[in-house]
Structures are given as structure tokens and as C-alpha cells.
Amino acid sequence: MDQPSPPRPAVMIDVARLAGVSHQTVSRVLNGHPSVRDETRERVLTAVRQLNYRPNALARGLAGRRSRVLGVVSFDTILYGPAATLLGVERAARAAGYGVSIVTLEQLDHDGVSDALSALAEQSVAGVVIIAPFTNTAAALRSLPMGIPAVVVEAGASGGLPAISVDQIAGAELAVRHLLEQGHETVWHVRGPQNWLEARDRESAWRSTLEAAGRSVPPVIDGDWSAASGYQAGLRLAGDPRVTAVFCANDQQALGLLRAFHERGVRVPDNVSVVGFDDIPEAEFMSPPLTTIRQDFDEVGRRCLAMLLDLLDSPVETPVYPRVTPVLVSRASTGIRQSANANS
């Protein structure tokens, strides 16, 4: 009788019939194959619109080799860094006509990464972006017998896998130099969790920058990215008169540190200057507003995708992309150190 809007969505053969061509011609038009007459192409496209036809990605993936879907393996998508990177990748992927499937890791060991990758392989994703900047991710990846093209975010020397990274070394240098230039004798450091590569890079750059400037290197304080750990570090540092400048491995830790200082009557930046890392949206509104290192995660996402697409085209050579350079955002939590230089 009537089917004003067919309950079953149109498929390629329907379009072909309506346009009076074969299904293969429709396929050619959709994939931009050159040898199709303009008049035919028009006819097909009209039919496509008329039926509101959308090609079935599953069938596409099955028949062809590529699946227009990328996988993303992430860790804690509530953390600012991973979340921002994920968003960047997703945007870039969508712009390039790819869908994005995500898997968040529960455990960080070899099996965790392996399971995640298997799950994605099952969906036959065309490629994978791994946002899991752990020291042991590299090892896990190396031993993976997978044929899927993959790029890694922030994984340092990750077993030969192509990687995109923000230049953590440069960032930490910016932070330490900024503090030294303001007249501080040295800079203390609240580092991030040791199984994160970024944390290690920041710590070692902090150390080497101090050494290069001929300053003493104070003992490092442990942290785990959380504001709570920064708070603990703050309580520990608050009593120490030698502490005039602190570089926190991320902004949340800096927040906790500021809180502890505030409680203990340590004034920032009058008594102690503080620098964070990331430039989370809240940094500008902390008490006082936090000087920090900004990373362009959107750019990271874009480059990741560009790299992955390069890799899909020519799987032989691994493209090399430059590191993304972070910048210093100077706010009220750091100030010129008045005379009274350190102890004496």
C-alpha cells in the first residue's frame, strides 16, 4: 500500500535501481572513482538524496580493507590531559571522516593494554591512538604481535612506535628558568607518579636545568597528580624557610599545595612562588592565579591523527613529527623575589 518513510533504511541496490544503474556504479560515485560520466554521477547523487541513503560502514569494512573507524586507548578520561587529547583526536578524526571507538584501561600492565587492543582489533579498526603515557606501556606495546597501525601519545622511546608528544623537557625548563630568573636560589619539585612518562620527563628536566645553572638540587617530593598529594607536599614544605620556589608537576598538585600554604600562613608569591603544569581552565582562578605551563592538546590530537593517516597510507616508513612546544603562562603565583635571598 503505502510506505511514506520505509521502515528499513535504503541500501545501495535501492539507489542503483532508482538511478537506473548498477550497484557498482553507485559504489564508484560514492568513492569518488574518476571514470563515471558526470550525467550519471548526478543521477546517482540525486537518488542518494532522495532515499536519504547512508552507506553501511559494517559492510564497507567487511568488503574493503579499511574501516573508517579509529580506536583510542585511553587511561583516565577524567584527568584533564587525557580528556583534552581525546577530544582533540576525536575532532580531527571526525573532520577526516573517521569514527572513533574508545577503550579506557582499567589496569596498566601488559594484559590491560593487550586486552584493550584486542577489543579494538575485533572491531577491525583501521588504526589506533594510544593515550596511555606509562613507563610500562612501552614494554607492553613492544611485545604486542599486532598488525594494526598505531601511534602513541607521550610515550617517549616507545619501542619504535611512532609517537606524538609535547616537549615536557622544554616545558619543565621554562618553569624552572622562570623561577630562577626571578631571583630564587633554587626550585623545589613536587613530582608526578613515577609510572607516568610525563612525570619522569618533568622531573629529570627540572633536575638538569638546576644543575646546568649550577644550583643545588633539593630533595624531590612525591605526588600522584591529585590535589590531595599536592596538599600533603605543601604541609611538608610549609615549615621549611629554604623553600622559596616550587614547581609542581601538574596544576592539581599545585592547587593542593596552595591550599596547604594558605592554611599554614605561607603567602604566595610573597613567601613562596609556585608554578604548575597543564594550564587547566581553573588555573586562572586559583588563589592566587597560577603561573603554569600550557600544553596545546588540540594540536596534539590533530598531529596524532595526521600521523596515523600517514601511517595508513604507507605502513612501511614511520613518519616523524616534531614535538609540540608548550608555553609559559605567567600569573600571580610567581613574583620577583625581593632582596632577602634564601637563607644566609
Q: Which residues are at the interface with DNA (CB under 7 A)?
A: 8, 11-13, 20-25, 27-28, 30-31, 34-37, 39-40, 53, 55-56, 59-60, 62-65
Residue holding cell 579494538?
A: 120
Task: Give how many residues touch a copy of itself by CB under 8 A.
Answer: 58
> What residues numbered 17-76 form the site for a copy of itself, per CB under 8 A?
54-59, 61-62, 67, 69, 76
Q: Is 225 left (phi over 0), alpha (psi -120 to 50) or beta?
A: left
Contacts of residue 240, Cβ cutoff 8 Å, sequence gap at least 6: none
Residue 103 makes contact with a copy of itself by CB under 8 A: yes
DSSP 333: T
Tell which one of 45, 96, 104, 236 touches a copy of itself (CB under 8 A): 104
Report in angstroms how near the CB of residue 306 gets to a copy of itself at its nearest: 19
> Which residue, 153 or 169, is less far from a copy of itself as judged by CB?
153
Question: Least distance to DNA from the beta carbon of 73, Å?
Answer: 22
Q: If contact means CB under 5 to 8 A according to the sort of partner, which of DNA, a copy of itself, none does residue 339 touch?
A: none
- Angle, helices 23-30 vs 38-51, to 10°: value is 90
- Contact of residue 135 among a copy of itself, DNA, none (CB under 5-8 Å per partner type): none
DSSP strand pairing (99-104 vs 127-131): unpaired
Give yes or no for a contact between 290 and 253, defined as CB atoms under 8 angstroms apart: no
**Among residues 33, 49, 66, 94, the one that binds a copy of itself under rule CB under 8 A:** 94
Cβ at position 12, least distance to DNA in Å:
3
Calculate ∠ Cα 341-201-136, nearest 5°. Answer: 145
| Bridge partners (DSSP) listed for residue 247 | 189, 275
Please report how many Cα atoms fall inside a 13 Å half-sphere around the Cα of residue 92, on the Cβ side: 22
Q: Examine residue 124 and tell whether it contacts a copy of itself (CB under 8 A).
A: yes
| Secondary structure of 142-170 in HEC code, one letter for each residue | HCCCCCCCEEEECCCCCCCCCEECECHHH
Q: Which residues bind a copy of itself (CB under 8 A)?
A: 5, 7, 9, 54-59, 61-62, 67, 69, 76-78, 80, 83-84, 86-87, 90-91, 94, 99-104, 106, 118-124, 145, 147, 226-228, 230-231, 252, 255-256, 258-259, 262, 281-282, 284-287, 289
